[in-house]
Copies of this chain bind each other. A is one copy, B any other.
Amino acid sequence: MEVNIKRLAEELNLSIATVSRALRDSHEVNPETKKRVLQLAAKLNYQPNPFASSLRAQKSKTIGVIIPEVDNNFFSLAIKGIEDVAQEKGYHVLVYLTHENVIKEVEITRLLQGGRVDGILMSVSSETAHIEHLLELQKKNIPIVFFDRVCEALDPPKVTTDDYESGFKATEHLVESGCKRIAFLQISNNLSIGRKRFKGYTDALEKNQLSFDESLLIVGTKNEVENYAAIKQMLTSANPPDGVFASVESLAITTYYVCKEIERKIPSHVKIISFSNLTTAALLAPSLTTITQPAYNIGKEAMTILFRLLKKNNYPYKKHVVLSSTLIKRDSTSPL
């Protein structure tokens, strides 16, 4: 037998309304009665049915987090930040993975239009060029906050790393280390993070009187094998780079694999720098200089902003919060 308000009311000879009020700690209920209600509720281990309340109140105290992947320390840490704030505010967190697939992204946003969530935190999939599904959410007045991979064409709040700065300082780091021909491994041309990091890279080159060589740009795909081949071709070309800037971790890893294979065929002084949140990797790999994003804080900040939107308390908040990355330098020069 389920224990619900009706049951409590019967056992206490009270109306369900009074019990409901007592449970919500209303001030218009006799302290004595309140106590009796709470005691019985505790004794029977009463738990309110969230669907009944949600149906009534038309809100769910639940948010949806839509991300491309999770097997990547950045998103794990972001989820942690999100969850911490959510738990503190009494919100529940639904997690959805798109696997970088727009079709799935659209399906998920559709699903969430039924009222299941009060708001959405989102990092767009790399393919996202169309934005109709995001507009639909706006039309339904479901607040969104973008984080990391934002949709620049839309006006909802955004929380990101200082991607341009990061690209700039990563490149300068390689220049300072003596690199003259610096390759750039791009995640995707459809993502603002990629474009901004790339702009930082080209600007840093220019500032240092280095010209941008198109043959040193590789745009990654979802196909690891393709990426591997492209990187290998570049590193074994007649005029290979002496430095590699991976704008995303997976491409740095692939680069390491390539280096391992061709070990003897390339100059051993190729320097690699990469975006990465695997502090472990950075620690264990003396050769990997990394740009580490404030993943946890990005999640925290995004959730905090979403919470304010949900509460409609018109706190002032920045439309676009930019958090700084950290450059963790390593000493060794060779990746191997």
Q: Tell me which residues across on chain B come within 8 A of A79, comparing CB atoms.
A: 70, 95
Q: Report B-chain residues with C-beta under 8 Å of the C-beta of A110.
A: 45, 47
Tell me, yes or no, whether A281 is within 8 Å of chain B by CB.
yes
B60 pairs with A51, CB closer than 8 A? yes
User: What band does the interface of chain A fall in when counting residues whose beta carbon is under 8 Å from B?
Assistant: 35 or more
- B96 to A116, Cβ gap below 8 A? no
* Interface bits A92-123 vs B (CB < 8 Å: 1, else 0): 11111100000010000011011110000000
Is A196 part of the binding interface, using a Cβ–Cβ cutoff of 8 Å?
A: no
* A246 CB to nearest B CB, Å: 12
Indicate how many identical chains form the complex.
2
**Does A55 touch B at the CB level, under 8 Å?**
yes
**Minimum Cβ distance to chain B for residue A35 (Å):** 20
Q: Which residues of A contact B (CB under 8 A)?
A: 45, 47-52, 54-55, 60, 62, 69-73, 75-77, 79-80, 83-84, 87, 92-97, 104, 110-111, 113-116, 136, 249, 253, 256-257, 278, 280-281, 283-285, 287-288, 296
Do A47 and B80 have beta carbons less than 8 Å apart?
A: no
Q: Which residues of B contact A71 (CB under 8 A)?
A: 73, 76-77, 80, 296
CB distance from A278 to the nearest CB of B (A): 5
